[in-house]
Amino acid sequence: ADADGPAGTDAKISEAIGCRTRTVESVRQAFVLEGFAEALVRKQRATAPTPKLLDGAAEAKLIALRLGKPPAGFGHWTLRLLADVRGKLKAEISAVSNIMEEVGLYGARQIAYTLKPDIALVVDVTHATDYPTVSKIQHGDIEIGKGPTLTHGGCNHPEIVTRLEKVAREQKIKLQHEAMSSTSGTDTDAIFWTRGGIPSALISLPNRYMHSPVELVSLKDLKHIPELMAAFALSLKIGEQFKVKI
């Protein structure tokens, strides 16, 4: 894979055989460091592969459930809630599922710039602190089953937060509250300053044991998030702007 050799560059080789450049680099490195015979033999796994949680039939059932009508009293989806009352909407609604949040909020940056929305409601999870060893003084008092949370400060526009609180009271949706420091650690951080500023607010689902194999959430908390977002969308008026009055 020498640039001056007959085989061409790593990029040309990867393009020719349909693999990543990094794969070509790794194979070349194995030949140099381990020798021809060792490089051709697939290495044995140090540990057994993680078994799949769902087989093909279970995966198909899960997908069908998600795409079908939500169960009564639970998995409401925001767009489904708005579909029945779309004649009352005074705003255009765009639903987005972003990628690469964990590595730099790149998906949020791109779609916020492309759509240029007047308002952005961001949904993420937040750490529930209702279990031993967690300092509520340091991390706040957030419980599973007590409703979704609204975040105050930083990237969260106070007028959007105020409207969400008003809508929640009208819909009898319980809310919890948390304050942020310099960043929220969510896509809201990228969206709110895009294109000169987009009024934004973060709605979070309390999640116990986040980033572990045993994460736990409440379906009731989850149910209230699309209900809150749908009610917020229906509350909007033509030409309405969200600005802080000074």
pLDDT per residue as tens digits for the range 22-57: 888 888 888 888 887 777 777 777 777 777 767 788
Q: Which residue has the tokens 């105050």?
A: 152
Torsion-angle region of 239 (φ positive above 0: left; ψ -120 to 50: alpha; else: beta): left
Instruction: Report helix, strand or coil for 243.
Output: coil
For the stretch 122-166, pLDDT in tens is 999 999 999 998 888 888 999 999 999 999 999 999 999 999 999
101 is catalytic: yes
Question: pLDDT by residue (tens digit) across 169-207?
Answer: 999 999 999 999 889 999 999 999 999 999 999 999 999
pLDDT in tens, 82-96: 877 778 889 999 999
Q: Where are the beta strands (DSSP E) in 27-163?
A: 120-127, 149-152
Residue from 15, 25, 38, 101 carrying the catalytic annotation: 101
Pair 208, 131: CB distance under 8 Å: yes
**Sheet containing 176-179: which strands, arranged edge to edge?**
120-127, 200-207, 149-152, 176-179
